[in-house]
Amino acid sequence: MIIWTRESPLEGTLHIPCVQHRIFHPEDVTLPQTPPTTFAFTSPRAVALTWEHPVLGSWLRDAKESYCFGPSTYLALQKLPLSGECIRLGAESGKGFAEKLIARRGLGESLARRGLGKLRSWFPNKEKIYLPGPLHRAFDLAKALEKAGIPASNINLYETISKVPSGTTPLNPIQPYVVCLGSPSAAREFWNWIPKEFPLSHFHVLCLGETTKKECPTEVKITLVEPQTWEALAKAAFSFCS
């Protein structure tokens, strides 16, 4: 049996949505005083909500550069008519993404200190990086960048709220389950919902990304799905159960 935890149901699965997203009204979003020149994204949802915002959308279109990690986030940016550069940094988690950004900015500053200004022009400047996303984040990328001396600030566009069913867990303790988890918040809510006495050996988890994997118990079998998209997750789940 496949357990599908995404908000929208998938036919042929047991639908247990773990989280829902409350999108903030555009007027309730705290915006920078001046249009950002640099954005960084960690999810397709953040890209979509930024683009749909009446002010942020035009700022994103005109920004010099937009960083991201993950194929689905990169694809979401590539579909937009951006005037600036879309830069995908190879990383498997928010922490890894932060390390890549820090290394990129740090190299640019190192070249500047050595008087290699022309080479430094290949790298981003020290203008602040803005990170649209949820109010509560699995990894605070802006905080990590600030700690490394790189100006950064979050733009909170939505809030993740628990949506797990109340009452008794409708799972059979003698039946195996394939659990599809697409985000750290969904993983946390799912495992908090599972009773402690339920045998974890009956679960095989298919998940998107290292950050989601880290929110799962070490006792369960886990398979990371590539590419990191819900479509790939669904395909892997049905293939696994066939």
Q: What is the pLDDT of residue 166?
A: 74
Q: What is the pLDDT of residue 120?
A: 42
Task: Mark 108-139 as b/e (b = at least 16 C-beta within 10 Å).
Answer: beebbeeeeeeebeeebeeebbbbbbbeebbb
CA nearest 93: which of 45, 42, 131, 57?
42
> What is the pTM (predicted TM-score) of this model?
0.77
Q: What is the pLDDT of residue 168?
A: 64
- In eight-state DSSP terms, residue 2 is E
Amino acid (one-letter) located at 39: F
Q: What is the mean pLDDT of residues 150-166?
A: 90
Confidence of residue 126 (pLDDT cuts 50, 70, 90): low
**Choice among 46-50, 131-135, 162-166, 212-216 with the minimum mean pLDDT:** 162-166
Q: What is the pLDDT of residue 117?
A: 44
Percentage of residues in the chain with pLDDT exceeding 70? 90
Q: What is the pLDDT of residue 7?
A: 86
Instruction: Give burial (CB, 10 Å; 0-12/13-18/19+) of 219.
Output: exposed
Task: Mark 5-25 as b/e (b = at least 16 C-beta within 10 Å).
Answer: bbeeebeebbebbbbeeeebe
Does 108 have pLDDT greater than 70?
no
Confidence of residue 178 (pLDDT cuts 50, 70, 90): very high
Q: Which residue has the higher pLDDT, 114 or 135?
A: 135
List of domains in the chain: 2-18+163-241 (3.40.50.10090), 22-161 (3.40.50.10090)
Does 216 have pLDDT greater than 90?
yes
Residue 211 CB partners (closer than 8 Å, separation 6+): 93, 94, 95, 138, 139, 184
Q: What is the pLDDT of residue 95?
A: 85
Q: What is the mean pLDDT of residues 106-112?
A: 50
